[in-house]
Structure 1
Amino acid sequence: MIYLPTDWLVEPTNESKVRELLDNLNQDLITDDLLTESEVVSELEKIGETTVIEKLNNNEIAFGA
């Protein structure tokens, strides 16, 4: 599970959707059914999670073990 401080969320009710989107980037094996990073960012923009996008672009979100 990705560490995601609640103060990074513009709207806390979006937490499950944000986690679902970020899980696409936290995979050891890339498959065709996963979203790309640009698609994840686009979806985050649609729900207004600008802080998460900023953290992602600044490599402040750690993926993997």
Structure 2
Amino acid sequence: MIYIPTPWLINPNNEDKVRELLENLNQDLITDDLLTETEVISELEKLGETIIIEKLNNNEMAFGA
């Protein structure tokens, strides 16, 4: 599970969806059914989660083993 500090969420009600989206980027094996980083960012924009997008763009979130 990815750690997301509460202040990073614009809307805490989006936490489950944000986690689901970020899990696409937290995979050791990339498959066709996973979203790309661009698609994940697009979905986060739709949710208004700008802080998470900023953290991704600044490489402030670590994924993988």
Which TM bucket (shorter chain)?
Answer: over 0.9
- When normalised by structure 2's length, the TM-score is 0.97
Greater RCO (Cα-Cα under 8 Å, separation 6 or more): 1
- When normalised by structure 1's length, the TM-score is 0.97
SS at match of 2:53: helix
Alignment-mate amino acid for residue 7 of structure 2: D
Identity of aligned residues (%): 80
5+ residue gaps in structure 2?
Answer: none
Runs of 4+ in 1 over 3 A off after TM superposition: none
CA distance in 1, matches of 2:4, 2:62: 10
RMSD: 0.5
Q: Could you tell me how far 1:12 is from its partner in structure 2?
A: 0.3
5+ residue gaps in structure 1?
Answer: none
